[in-house]
Amino acid sequence: ALAGLNVLVFLFTQYLAPAWQQRLGLYSYVPVPGLSIGVAEGPDQWYRLLTAMFVHAGFAHLATNMVSLLVLGPPLERALGRGRFLGLYLLSGLAGNALAFLVSGGALYSVGASGAIFGLLGATVVLVHRNRAPMGPVVALLVFNLVVTFSLSWIDWRAHIGGLVAGGVMAVGLVYAPRGHRGLVQGLTAAGLLALVLVTLVLGTARLGG
């Protein structure tokens, strides 16, 4: 379903209504002090953190992310359940985009599901460790992706790192929650991450004068 939604949004923004790429993308710009555009304007524009997760800059960008989603997603969905998996995916993407805004909100345009995908990667590391499975392959995959992230200038490393950390934290709360208080701990973990995203947005907006 997530892959299908990404494909539909790609077709819409790439071929039917290209202007919506910027309307839905993670766009923030402060050309002069006191003039804020996009996310920096304030809460009315914060929807972009969510919508940007489903916008892609080209077919190669879309294909790379969707292959990663279809490889990493199913094992995590089976282990966590659909609802928890969806929460992990969305919160990772939101956290990655929030970090990108905090770091570069004065001149920012970013799109793609990469932050959410890195969240799945971080969660996979936690789950593999929890199940006492061999860590070598997943660590190698993580290191490879980090090297690529910091080697290519057009990749938004902020969204990748933010998503990775959020996905790992979320997974810890999900799989290590004590049995007697599992629902409470899992809910607090998700709520804590969402609160952190909101705090990041408030701080970034205040810093830019929005």
Active centre residues (catalytic) = 114, 160
Specify whether the CB–CB gap between 30 and 198 falls below 8 A: no
Q: The dihedral of CA 48, 61, 2, 122: what is its sign?
A: negative
Contact status, residue 172 vs residue 127, Cβ threshold 8 Å:
no
Quickly list DSSP for 124-151.
HHHHHHHTT---HHHHHHHHHHHHHHHH
Residue for token pair 């790992």: 168
Query: CA 203, CA 201: separation in Å to the nearest integer?
Result: 5
Distance of CA 89 to the CA centre of its chain: 7
Q: CA triplet 59, 40, 158: central angle to 5 degrees?
A: 50
Name, in order, each residue with C-beta under 8 angstroms of 206's C-beta and a sequence gap of 6 or more: none
